[in-house]
Structure 1
Amino acid sequence: MRRLLNTLYVTMPDAYLACDGENVLVKIEDEIRFRIPVHNLEGIVCFGFAGASPKLMYLCCERGVALSFLTTYGKFMGRITGNISGNVLLRRTQYRWSDDETISSRLSRRFVAAKIINSRAVLHRVLRDHPEIVDNNLRDSLVLLARMPERLERAADGSAIRGIEGEAAHLYFSNFNKLILNQKDDFQMINRNRRPPTDRINALLSFLYTLLTHEVVAALESVGLDPQVGFLHRDRPGRPSLALDVMEEMRPHLVDRLAVTLINRNQISSDGFNVKENGAVIMEDDTRKEVLTAWQKRKQEVITHPYLGEKIPLGLVPYVQALLLARHMRGDMEDYPPFFWK
């Protein structure tokens, strides 16, 4: 089992990354502000960085540390990794399966069913913990979401599956405001939007989804799978389609619940977001740091994996699911068990 390492988040826009032997250095105006051994890291994510030395990039590639670059607002720019581990036969199987509509639809059903069930579980917590604020719209949505996994099994092809996924997402996010118990006036979602997000909740969710994407891409590469060739999300240049597939089942539990907790516990506030003239909502530096700290703590929480029955840190879920998917493709498992959480 892979042990949970740390991700280094560099949020200082004038930081320069370098290395000294086996140590990663963060410099500002040639002064070393931070030093950490490379073997303590699984990834480095830079927001609006000043630069990185080629020697550091080589060290990261050699040690299997993913190095990702984002804008100061959290938009993904690029990623540097070393050789993909695993064998070519696994990736050839992945490419053949992606071109097979029957297999792609079967795996897509697994990803979407888990997303729907986990989304319903998040909404159901409101019904359980705060029945006084539950309305008929939420009750009706819970009933409809409960029926959707059965509809997925009858879906004829990938287009039908994606249609059901879109319908489920609409039901879920139309009730998302009911999860917000504090700061209701400042954190309201009209609909799920991005590029750019136009409200504070969408800005928070988009930022956290970017962090989850980094984790899932690294997990898939670690087992030898190609993150860009998926089954539910079709090929598009530059898009990590398989990572987006696997992310679907993890979004509600890993990201959405964290976002709601940050708001309800007043760990973030409306002052931590900046509204631009074009309506785009951008997260301020202090809020970004607060969210990153909470994300790291979230990854350390221990759960019992629903399929393995073993206790693992939550941050290992992407690696476990990537491993299970690779084993299924190798023929070691009859089917892929998605991540269900209730």
Structure 2
Amino acid sequence: MRYLNSVYIRDYKARVGYRRGSLVVTGMEGKQRIGIEAIDAVIMFAGQITTDALAQLVRRRVRIAALTRGGRIRFIVSGPTSGNVHLRQAQHRAADDVGTTLQITRNIVAAKLQNSRRVIARWGRDYPQPAIREDLRTRSEQLGGRVTEIANADSAHMLRGIEGDAGRLHFGAVRKVLSFEELQFTTRNRRPPRDPVNALLGMCYALLVTEATGAAETVGLDPQIGFFHRARSGRASLSLDLVEEFRPLVDRFVVGIVRRKQIGVADFTFTAGGACYLTDSGRDRLLKLWEKHKDTEFQHDVLGRPVSRWALPTVQATLMARHLRGDLPGYPPFLLRR
């Protein structure tokens, strides 16, 4: 099925081929042709893809990602390595420099905490129950205090400690704001997710990481060489760095669709081992809501204008590249204004 510029394949019998400028998706629902020029990503939860289709997508730099039903990324394929090799050299030098890495990490963590604080403050203003409204207000203020501690953090270890403490405050707020909903939340868990809210969070985080990986490669950065997330074999560390400042937006999106009852218990299935996954119809519903969310506009301070959510990972990857090239004195992260 196609929603906007992303093609999602979830039919286990689906076969994705290529013919005369179009992807041809054949499955249980019949055959569908999709003009390849209108696609920016193919996300596969199941099915097969031909080498011809894969080659045509890669040639046009269309991102292909395969995810498990729980949202874990199996692989991401994109076009050939692009960009100036000197940019990647600068990225590797910066990752090896303790001072540069610390400064970039400070900016990333500060933006994540600021965005979390603003999301929680918004929940607090809108929440009808006075006791929970006050709890959310307190948590927002406490997060503001954690932000002020970042400037004095002189090591990555200290920053991770501040970020971890802020995470407990943040997910405590998620628990509070969903206290009276059909889908409730207790604590963050994954691999596998144990409840519907964690299943939603895991799926959306994974979709965002595929966007960040494509954005990094588009501007010529190495997705595996990060700063806050240190290099680890098989991990897209820079992609995870770029995602950090957007995680509160994902959490706001998930809380919103739960509170608006746009997704419910019937959209999930539980395994004998206690894992919780979206059903096929539930995943279909989530992807439609996700694509609609990607059209939401946010004010961007550096650009001085609104930017659609789908473009934000590329904007931030570009700003990271400009900093590493020496065009900007520091990495300017995305800050939520509303």
Report how far residue 133 of structure 1 moved.
Answer: 4.1
User: Aligned letter for 1:116?
Assistant: L
Asked if 1:216 is matched to 2:212, the reply is yes
Deviations 1:61-96 (A, max 9, x none): 110001111223322111222212211100011011
Which residue number in structure 2 is paired with residue 248 of structure 1? 244
Which residue number in structure 1 is paired with residue 319 of structure 2? 324
Asked if 1:268 is matched to 2:263, the reply is yes
Report how far residue 222 of structure 1 moved.
Answer: 0.5
Secondary structure of the residue aligned to 1:166 is helix
Moved over 3 A (4+): 135-140
Q: What does residue range 198-213 of structure 1 map to in structure 2 within 5 Å? A: 198-213=194-209
Which residue number in structure 2 is paired with residue 8 of structure 1? 7
User: Aligned letter for 1:285?
Assistant: D
- Cα gap change, 1:32 to 1:274, in 2 (>3 Å): closer
Which residue number in structure 1 is paired with residue 61 of structure 2? 64
Asked if 1:103 is matched to 2:100, the reply is yes
Per mean C-alpha deviation after superposition, the further-off stretch among 297-306 and 168-177 is: 297-306
Secondary structure of the residue aligned to 1:175 is helix
Distance 1:86 1:69 in 2: 25
Structure 2, unaligned runs of 5 or more = none
Report how far residue 39 of structure 1 moved.
Answer: 1.2
Asked if 1:341 is matched to 2:332, the reply is no
Q: Is the 8 A contact 2:69 2:277 kept in 1?
A: no
1:189 to 176, 185, 190: 185
Deviations 1:213-266 (A, max 9, x none): 11111111100001111000111111111111111101112x111111111111
Structure 2 length-normalised TM: 0.94
Q: What does residue range 165-184 of structure 1 map to in structure 2 within 5 Å? A: 165-180=163-178, 184=181
1:164 to 155, 162, 165: 162
Q: CA RMSD of the aligned region, Å?
A: 1.6
Which residue number in structure 1 is paired with residue 86 of structure 2? 89
Deviations 1:152-175 (A, max 9, x none): 111111111111111110111012
Secondary structure of the residue aligned to 1:300 is coil
State the number of aligned residues: 333
Q: What does residue range 17-36 of structure 1 map to in structure 2 within 5 Å? A: 17-28=16-27, 33-36=31-34
User: Aligned letter for 2:23?
Assistant: V
Q: Is the 8 A contact 2:15 2:25 kept in 1?
A: yes
Report how far residue 137 of structure 1 moved.
Answer: 4.3
Asked if 1:285 is matched to 2:280, the reply is yes
Structure 1, unaligned runs of 5 or more = none
User: Aligned letter for 2:312?
Assistant: V
Secondary structure of the residue aligned to 1:134 is helix
Per mean C-alpha deviation after superposition, the further-off stretch among 195-204 and 72-81 is: 72-81
State, as a whole percentage, how many aligned pairs show the same letter. Answer: 37
Q: What does residue range 135-146 of structure 1 map to in structure 2 within 5 Å? A: 137-146=135-144
User: Aligned letter for 2:51?
Assistant: P
Q: Is the 8 A contact 1:126 1:134 kept in 2?
A: no
Which residue number in structure 2 is paired with residue 124 of structure 1? 121
Which residue number in structure 2 is paired with residue 229 of structure 1? 225
Report how far residue 313 of structure 1 moved.
Answer: 1.5
Distance 1:251 1:142 in 2: 16
Distance 1:125 1:299 in 2: 20
Deviations 1:257-305 (A, max 9, x none): 1111111111111111112111111111111111100111111122322
Deviations 1:142-190 (A, max 9, x none): 22210112211111111111111111101110121232276x2x32222
